[in-house]
Amino acid sequence: MQREHAPPPSLAQITFVFFVIAMQSFGGGLSGWIRREVVQRRGWMPDQQFLSGLALCQIAPGPNSVNLSVFIGTTLRGGAGALAALLGMIGAPMALVIAMGAAVAELSTYPVVSSGMAGVGAAAVGLNLATGIRMARRGVRSTYAAGIALAATVAIGGFGTNFLASVVVLLPLSFAVAVWTRR
Amino acid sequence: MTGALLALVGLFGSLSLVAFGGGNAVIPAMQHSAVAVRHWMTDREFLELFALSRLAPGPGSLIVTLVGQKAAGLVGALVATVAMYFPSCLLLHLVTRAWHRYRDARWRETAERGLAPLAVGLIFASGIAIMRGTEQGIAPVLLTIASTAVLTATEMHPILVLCVGGVIGAALRF
């Protein structure tokens, strides 16, 4: 339900909504939650604008969900809105993660905790790989593009090639392919 | 202490603007720097922090906060977080304002297609880099493969998969 010309929400409302979103998002999938709250439940922006913003946040460097909070905050209330959204997004999770980090540092002297965390880590690596597979299905549409994805995977993941050097070489190449293959 | 803080600012400040495809993209560089170059932690401890950042609510990129905490305590956590988020957030704020002013769909579409393959490669690289650093023996590798398959083929909630992984890890003494 989108309201036309709804007045922009207050800074406190923006912080609160992103706080709620951040605290209920376990194990990723943040952009889905953000869309539900900001577009569908509150009608703060039309879906079209949200989706083009999401694409922008995926293009731009930096964590996507954090970028998305800055995009929405900026769109709603400029620089102050961006700070309000960012505070809601990372404030509480950051405090929580620091507390958990301290607790685990103590507890991992117990072998069962350390083994358990290694198991969570091994499963979490699968989360990264599964995200890569889903992204590849959507975004890699030519043999050349697949070659670039493979080159980045093998260079950085397989041979431990310097990250910055790999990006400096592959980024222009990838853009050249995108321009070359555009219809 | 000051040396560690400066190192954190240098590391995350420089990674912030090249994290194409999200925070996961820079995990191999983060791991290399924290373990092999700075000796802030072992590969196994890095894996624990990675696991923790996925278990906690909020952005997974908060692994940066945990690395900072390990390197230089509470101050390190804050410094690392600001160094990682400030440059990319400022850039995105400025780009958003320009974005609303100019709308060239053709340019946007090309940029999306240009960055997608790199983002895909970087996220695969992050998974493989962590595996290479930490997964000794066949059992953890099989767990990673199983987790990848389940999360790709089904809509099972990731947190459930992570918890099952934790139980398996504890039972098999990873």
Determine the residue among B82, B120, B138 to mutate to test chain A binding: the one whose Cβ has the most chain A Cβ atoms within 10 Å. Answer: B120
The reply to whether B75 touches chain A by the CB within 8 Å rule is no
What span, in angstroms and rounded, lies between the C-alpha atoms of B21 and A136? 12
Average pLDDT, chain B: 90
**pLDDT tens digits for range B95-135:** 999 888 776 667 777 877 888 888 888 889 888 988 887 77
State the Rg of chain B over Cα: 18
Q: Which residue of A has its CA nearest to B135?
A: A122
Amino acid at A36: R
- Do B113 and A120 make contact, defined as CB atoms within 8 angstroms? no
The rounded percent of chain B whose pLDDT value lies above 70 is 98
Q: What pLDDT, on the 0 to 100 scale, is given for residue B174?
A: 87
| CB-based contact B95:A110 (threshold 8 Å) | no
Q: Report whether A112 contacts B161 (CB < 8 A).
A: no
- pLDDT band, very low/low/confident/very high, at A2 (cuts 50, 70, 90): very low
ipTM of the modeled complex: 0.83
Predicted TM-score (pTM) of this structure: 0.84
pLDDT of residue A28: 64
CB-side neighbour CA atoms (13 Å) of A103:
10
Residue A85 has which token pair?
A: 């959204």
Q: Which of A34, A113, A131 to probe the B interface (max B CBs under 10 A)?
A: A131
